Structure 1
Amino acid sequence: MTTSSQTEVSAFPHIRAVVRANGTGEVVIAGNSRPIDAPDETALRREAMTLITAQASVLARPVRVYTEGPEGDGELIVHPDGNIEEVAAETKGRRRRTATPPSSADSDAGAGGETVRGSDLTPPPAAPQPTDAQEPATQAELPMDSVPAAAPAETQSVVQAAERSAQPPAAPSAEAPTRRSLKETSFLISDPVVQPATQGFRGLMTRIGLRMDPSEAELAERADIHSVSQHWPGPRTIAVVNRKGGANKTPTVAALSAVFARYGGGGVLAWDNNENQGTLGWRTEQGPHTSSVLDLLRDKEQLLSPLAHNALLAHYVHHQTEDKYDVLRSDENDEGDHEISADEVDAVHSVAAKYYRMIIMDSGNTARAANWRAMIAHTNQLVIPTTTMEDRAEAAKLTLQTLTARDEHSAKLAEDAVVIISQWKPEDGDEARRIAAGFEPLVRAVVTVPYDPALKAGRIRHNALKPATQRAWLAAAAAVAKGL
């Protein structure tokens, strides 16, 4: 019996059941052969189906089986509960090796559910087509009394010629392909091949030679990786903002930069855009110098010159050797009192946009500062970080309100913002869900990151995070990427 779902049954792993005339057989699963030895053909088939049903139970889904036997080839669908379906000839398009009909003993066994063989694929004999001399006339075309039963051959020929002339002309044949239609034709119609599972039990089975499809969780992770691996036509700027200190802005900048650089192949700049002294330099790796944004501003004309090259940036930024992104530090001179202006933000951004495909900007706590406003003007995607502490979450909401009321560009950023909630303590799961529910109607996406001591203090490194934390930051970066 053929069902519409048969075409949906995966051909992986490739399974063959072979029964030979000499009384031997084998089951081959993904290239691994399991010989079968039984006293008769019926026992051989029963043992083969036992092995295949066990495989279907492991996979928790039906499997496709190609059968080979003395009476020909076939194709079956075997379910985990032991039910077996034959795949019809028009579904699989396979041919028997021979047209020898099965023996009566085999037919009886198959009817009783004991023996399973490939279905008889020999098509029924085609009905003979009438010739012109045999073509009958319908009653509507030729009344029965208009031609004598024993009409001479000449009379029949005349009548048949009249019938043919009375028939409507045949439909014109399809137009021959033109050069244009050939250009529009493609032979690449196959579905993309899904890579086998690499994680969990399914990944283990794949590594031992039994190819298995990935789970839903692994497919979702692959989709997030694809999102953050994209390169866009032109630089993209992400601003990480919250009017409250201690809202996890700097860890958010470092974590997002690491994910985008690791999966996208570098070209990511983390820029500490505090008006005075920020903390991004304290939480990231320092290069072989102490340069800051002020040094880059001093040499901006040289860096914007057509003769400048990427290697010059090594004098000004601090490369993260493990996480593959660069850091542009704020001024860390305790004796200095330079406050970054809007014009200076524009100048630094023009340099950064020349050399980097993505710019992720840390920020201060003053939404009225000139450098803060200039940053927002360059922003393509807004990220609002917060922790599970109530005052940080309230400050995140007030930041959105400030931007919504400012101008059209700022309001659009607030509407499409991504809120990232980091658990302040391990037991803050319920509080994180409550805060997330409050933000969901206000922004495009909300992502929760679990508590991780590696984010609390010291240098932030992606590999130092727990696997669950790494997965959460990947999801957060994918949510951000969808707005770019």
Structure 2
Amino acid sequence: MTEPAEQPYALATIRGDGSAEITIQGRTQELGAPTVEQARASVVSYLAHRARPLGVPIHVVVDDPEGQFVLVVNPDGSLGETFTSEPDHDTIPPGGHRGEPVDGEPDAPSAPAVEPSTTGPGTPTPSAPEPGTPDPTRVADPASAWGPPGQREAPAAAGPAPVAETVPATAAALVQAPPATVPQPAADPAPVPAHPVSGGWSSSPPAGHDPRPGWDGAGRQAQQLQQPGGWPQQPPGAPAPAGPAQPAEGWPADPSATMTRRQMRESFLKAEQTEAPASTGLRGMLARVGVRVQPSEAERAERADIHAVSQHWPGVRTIAVVNGKGGAGKTPTTALLSATFARYSGAATIAWDNNETRGTLGWRTEQGKHDATVLDLIPRTAELLDPGARAGDISHFVHHQAADKYDVLRSNPNLLSSEQRISGEDVDAIHDVLGRYYRLIFVDSGNDESASHWLRMIDKADQLVVPTIAKPEHAEAGALLLEALTRRGGRSADLAQRAVVVVSQAREKDVNPSAAEIARGFEGWVSEVVTIPYDRAMVENVLRYDALAPATRRAWLRAAAAVARRL
């Protein structure tokens, strides 16, 4: 009787874009291919390359767009049998662990090794047992095979000895196997128990593993289920074909030609990121005096938000700030989100007042050395878009915020709306100009949701922000707007679904309802809701980021990160 050769296990993930990841013996290798089929070929070729010096096949659990299953990759690149991978939690005795006796019961006898079964030309294939006769390939339940507790000798019986455990696996679904080399025995309802190993699969077959391809440790043949990807199903009792097992449909017959030398070796470059020590609070104080302390969870969350806001996206991004009711907080939201992005990302950022009914963004921000508004820019759009225009030419029409690092394109609140009508075509021209000189465009909108310039702004937007103060009428106006955009369908509905809602506590003593209560009403049907605490600096005339309290600045950073993650 011989011991089966040690067979390593691997995990492989194949993604729909052709990328793949293989983990074997604790080491991970990234692969890439133009298609899923070529990625499969690369995975098989890489595992065959790793199996050759070992001289044994590698069992691999594959997570593929077609499903999850298990393969055996031979050193020559061919695919061997697969086995069932459905965990059976019912086989764990109460109070004990799989393969361990329950308190008060004697130890189960150890299982003898099982001789490998060979099948090929000239070797007769065992036939199914006659009805009414014991099946020599089927192992009885271990409890009945070994008798009642205390009996240490097995009764005489034909066929292989029972084993203590069956072959384990952790795949999420039963696996389709290629044609088996033995007949299909009678169905056994007991599934194969699982064998979870911390950190992945173990490097050798678990205890009780039956080396016969397609069989588990209890002598039961692996179940055959039709899986996506074209695995053939072998009828019960059909003879097995001679020669090596054939690969499943979609997997290469000869994958070695698809692997490059570069893919066959592991890179010397490891992507390791060292976390910076704590910088705030008591932990930060200890770090500054030489004691290296990890940051707290709150500091890690703040770093993650800063990283999200600091990104530079390819192309221009437009964020529309919308609510049909005046006084909902659109102007403070526009100004403070612009300031947060400009400070952390360094990207050229502009806040545009797309409001023909006395928009107040110009009143709530610093004025430059001129009094130009959007009405002065519209007649000059062709000049600003001319190839000969220079980067500084836009400064004649916008007002720079010295401390907060963004610019403002004002409307003229001193004119009646009838005197400053802006059409959809004007919005197109303004957006084209701003997109040439800025990377981030925040648009403060008016209250007329039917106006052509308002609708055209929605068409230009990449992300919606719906501000509201903690008052039911303002929150209801924001909710009705989102419902109307959803009914509009298409891109408008997508923007409504991905919207970020910002709820501000506008008055210190006005806490019924609170911002948190209003926020809970929006949860579940927008992408994220962020609350802003009351801050007197937000109700004063000019909005400045540095004037806010630390808690308020942190809340605006959280709101900006929520927007950034959806750009």
Whether these two folds match at TM > 0.5 is yes
2:538 is equivalent to residue 455 of structure 1: yes
Task: Tell me which amino acid in the other structure corresponds to 2:427.
Answer: V
Q: Shift of residue 425 of structure 1? A: 2.2
What secondary structure, in the 3-state scheme, does the structure 1 residue paired with 2:292 have?
Answer: coil
Task: Tell me which amino acid in the other structure corresponds to 1:415.
Answer: Q
What secondary structure, in the 3-state scheme, does the structure 2 residue paired with 1:194 have?
Answer: coil
Q: Shift of residue 204 of structure 1? A: 0.2
2:555 is equivalent to residue 476 of structure 1: no
Q: Shift of residue 431 of structure 1? A: 2.0
Indicate if the aligned counterparts of 1:276 and 1:339 stay in contact, CA closer than 8 A: no
Decide which of 315, 321, 332 is 1:240's aligned counterpart: 321
Other-structure match for 2:374: 293
Indicate how the Cα distance of structure 1 residues 241 and 190 shifts in structure 2: closer, same or farther if over 3 A, else same. closer
Q: Shift of residue 353 of structure 1? A: 0.7
Equivalent runs, 1:42-121 vs 2, <5 Å: none
Q: Shift of residue 316 of structure 1? A: 0.5
Indicate how the Cα distance of structure 1 residues 203 and 273 shifts in structure 2: closer, same or farther if over 3 A, else same. same
Other-structure match for 1:73: none
Equivalent runs, 1:315-330 vs 2, <5 Å: 315-330=396-411
Distance 1:471 1:180 in 2: 50
What secondary structure, in the 3-state scheme, does the structure 1 residue paired with 2:300 have?
Answer: helix
Other-structure match for 2:128: none
Indicate if the aligned counterparts of 1:292 and 1:332 stay in contact, CA closer than 8 A: no
Q: Percent identity?
A: 54
Indicate how the Cα distance of structure 1 residues 433 and 299 shifts in structure 2: closer, same or farther if over 3 A, else same. same
Distance 1:190 1:275 in 2: 52
2:287 is equivalent to residue 215 of structure 1: no
Indicate how the Cα distance of structure 1 residues 307 and 479 shifts in structure 2: closer, same or farther if over 3 A, else same. same
Distance 1:265 1:291 in 2: 25
TM-score, normalised relative to structure 2: 0.53
Distance 1:207 1:349 in 2: 47
2:435 is equivalent to residue 435 of structure 1: no
Q: Which whole-Å deviations, capped at 9, do the CAs of 1:162-205 have from their partners, x for residues lacking one?
A: xxxxxxxxxxxxx9xx9732797422225211111100000000
Distance 1:331 1:266 in 2: 26
What secondary structure, in the 3-state scheme, does the structure 1 residue paired with 2:350 have?
Answer: strand
Distance 1:309 1:185 in 2: 49
Q: Shift of residue 266 of structure 1? A: 3.4
Q: Which whole-Å deviations, capped at 9, do the CAs of 1:123-163 have from their partners, x for residues lacking one?
A: xxxxxxxxxxxxxxxxxxxxxxxxxxxxxxxxxxxxxxxxx
Equivalent runs, 1:251-266 vs 2, <5 Å: 251-266=332-347
What secondary structure, in the 3-state scheme, does the structure 1 residue paired with 2:514 have?
Answer: helix
Indicate if the aligned counterparts of 1:275 and 1:371 stay in contact, CA closer than 8 A: no
Q: Shift of residue 441 of structure 1? A: 1.6
Other-structure match for 2:383: 302
Other-structure match for 1:381: 463
Decide which of 403, 424, 440 is 1:358's aligned counterpart: 440
Decide which of 527, 540, 547 is 1:464's aligned counterpart: 547
2:505 is equivalent to residue 423 of structure 1: yes
Distance 1:367 1:182 in 2: 56
Indicate if the aligned counterparts of 2:470 and 2:513 stay in contact, CA closer than 8 A: no
Q: Shift of residue 333 of structure 1? A: 4.1
Other-structure match for 1:444: 527
Other-structure match for 1:19: none
Indicate if the aligned counterparts of 2:355 and 2:446 stay in contact, CA closer than 8 A: yes
Decide which of 357, 370, 377 is 2:452's aligned counterpart: 370
Distance 2:531 2:397 in 1: 34
The structure that is helix-richer by fraction is: 1
Distance 2:322 2:445 in 1: 6
Indicate if the aligned counterparts of 2:497 and 2:525 stay in contact, CA closer than 8 A: yes
Q: Which whole-Å deviations, capped at 9, do the CAs of 1:329-356 have from their partners, x for residues lacking one?
A: 0124437712111110010000011111
Other-structure match for 2:96: none
Equivalent runs, 1:195-206 vs 2, <5 Å: 195-206=276-287
Distance 1:445 1:372 in 2: 23
Distance 1:365 1:332 in 2: 14
Count of aligned pairs between the two proteins: 308
Other-structure match for 1:229: 310
Other-structure match for 1:282: 363
Other-structure match for 1:101: none
Q: Shift of residue 380 of structure 1? A: 0.5
TM-score, normalised relative to structure 1: 0.62
Q: Shift of residue 407 of structure 1? A: 2.9
Q: Shift of residue 399 of structure 1? A: 0.9
What secondary structure, in the 3-state scheme, does the structure 1 residue paired with 2:353 have?
Answer: strand
Other-structure match for 1:311: 392
Other-structure match for 1:341: 423
Other-structure match for 2:198: none
Q: Which whole-Å deviations, capped at 9, do the CAs of 1:89-134 have from their partners, x for residues lacking one?
A: xxxxxxxxxxxxxxxxxxxxxxxxxxxxxxxxxxxxxxxxxxxxxx
Distance 1:242 1:378 in 2: 17
Q: Shift of residue 435 of structure 1? A: 1.1
Task: Tell me which amino acid in the other structure corresponds to 1:189.
Answer: K
Indicate if the aligned counterparts of 2:347 and 2:440 stay in contact, CA closer than 8 A: no
Q: Shift of residue 442 of structure 1? A: 1.6
The answer for unaligned runs of 5 or more in structure 2 is 1-255
Other-structure match for 1:188: 269
Q: Shift of residue 360 of structure 1? A: 0.3
What secondary structure, in the 3-state scheme, does the structure 2 residue paired with 1:299 have?
Answer: helix
RMSD: 1.7
Equivalent runs, 1:150-161 vs 2, <5 Å: none
Decide which of 447, 469, 475 is 1:393's aligned counterpart: 475
Task: Tell me which amino acid in the other structure corresponds to 1:441.
Answer: G
Distance 2:497 2:381 in 1: 34
Indicate if the aligned counterparts of 2:471 and 2:513 stay in contact, CA closer than 8 A: no
Indicate if the aligned counterparts of 1:237 and 1:358 stay in contact, CA closer than 8 A: yes
Indicate how the Cα distance of structure 1 residues 398 and 221 shifts in structure 2: closer, same or farther if over 3 A, else same. same
The answer for unaligned runs of 5 or more in structure 1 is 1-174
Distance 2:453 2:392 in 1: 27
